[in-house]
Amino acid sequence: MESDAALEDLDALFDATGHWREPPQEWPEQALENKQFLAALEECLRRLPARTGQVFLMREHLGVETTEICKELSLTPTHVWVLLYRARQALRECLRMTGFGAKA
Amino acid sequence: MKCQEAAQLISRGMDEHLPWWQRSSLRLHLLICDACTNFSRQVRLLGAAVRRLV
């Protein structure tokens, strides 16, 4: 069972005062047209824990409402929003590691 | 509002309707915080990018 309903591991993104350790940088809007960016994103999606990736794709790729996701997967609303938040943070971090969003 | 809380609200706000007091304190935070403004743009761009993938 994935222990994915907690936010503890995401706390590492922030310092004790709640500030970003690595403040997000500006991404170029053209990233959407950038094949490398899209390929890196696909790879990062594959690295997400199964349930996290499933919920994120249902929401963002298929546009399913969170209430529907809860029903479909028998998850609580809190669990769903935590999974979506985790997915977004994990994808950003993964893309940052591959060189996107680093200081130019 | 701390960035940590702002980031969570930004994400939640993309999926559900936030109460007005959360929306207004988030908006105030975004006015003064470049990092969270960038975060907000990044996660929106992530959504747009994922919709382009087949």
Q: Where are the domains of chain A?
A: 50-104
Closest CA in chain B for residue A26: B38
| Intervals of chain B under pLDDT 50 | none
The pLDDT value recorded for residue B9 is: 97
pLDDT at A5 > cutoff 60 = no
pLDDT band at A4 (very low <50, low <70, confident <90, very high): low
Choose among B3, B15, B16: nearest Cβ to A19. Answer: B3
The ipTM, to two decimals, is 0.95
The pLDDT value recorded for residue A1 is: 40
**56-95 in chain A: CB under 8 A from chain B:** 56-57, 59-61, 66, 77, 80-81, 84-85, 88-89, 91-92
Q: How many Cβ atoms from other residues are within 10 Å of residue A73's Cβ? A: 14
Closest CA to A92 of A100, A104, A83: A100
Between residues A9 and A30, the one the model is more confident about:
A30
What pTM was estimated for this model as a whole?
A: 0.91
C-alpha triplet B40, A20, A58: angle, nearest 5° = 40
Test mutation, A60, A67, A79, chain B, max B CBs within 10 A: A60
Q: Specify the amino acid at residue A93.
A: E
| Average pLDDT value over all residues in chain A | 88
